[in-house]
């Protein structure tokens, strides 16, 4: 959210994403309070490939392209290594790795069309 807020403050049109529509709407309002560009809230589950595709398509529909991609998905619940089961590991991998792969893959053709497309990936220092 901080990255989106900083970009929006500088006049960049941003699309923010989250699974919880209520929290997403609140984040949109918070960002719009400082934005000089447009802010769009697009719900999607980044562990679902079809929803990642729909997120990028919605962005292109709204703004015509994707100029920059910033990924920053929340991490899995904290816990010890031995208490983390296979399902938790797979979910963490889908959320923290595959969401970035899918978003980059879907955004790449649009980023390539522009002159200065960028991809920035942010993650927590405490991820497993």
In the chain, where are the structural domains located? 2-121
Distance CA 72, CA 124 (A): 9
Distance CA 74, CA 113 (A): 29
CATH superfamily of the 2-121 domain: NAD(P)-binding Rossmann-like Domain (3.40.50.720)
pLDDT digits (tens, 9 = 90+) for 23-60: 999 999 999 999 999 999 999 999 999 999 999 999 99
Distance CA 19, CA 108 (A): 23
pTM score, whole prediction: 0.89
pLDDT digits (tens, 9 = 90+) for 74-128: 777 778 888 888 998 899 899 999 999 999 999 999 999 988 889 999 987 665 4
Distance CA 43, CA 16 (A): 8
What are the φ and ψ backbone dihedral angles of 6, each rounded to 5 degrees?
Answer: -65, -45
């Amino acid at each position: 959210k901080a990255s989106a807020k900083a970009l929006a403050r500088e006049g960049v049109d941003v699309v923010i994403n989250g699974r919880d529509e209520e929290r997403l709407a609140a984040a949109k309002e918070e960002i719009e309070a400082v934005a000089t560009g447009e802010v769009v809230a697009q719900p999607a589950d980044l562990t679902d490939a079809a929803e990642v595709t729909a997120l990028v398509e919605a962005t292109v529909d709204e703004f015509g392209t994707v100029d920059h991609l910033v990924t920053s998905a929340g991490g899995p619940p904290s816990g010890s290594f031995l208490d983390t089961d296979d399902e938790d590991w797979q979910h963490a991998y889908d959320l923290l790795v595959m969401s970035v792969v899918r978003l980059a893959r879907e955004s790449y053709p649009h980023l390539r069309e522009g002159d200065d497309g960028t991809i920035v990936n942010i993650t927590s220092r405490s991820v497993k």
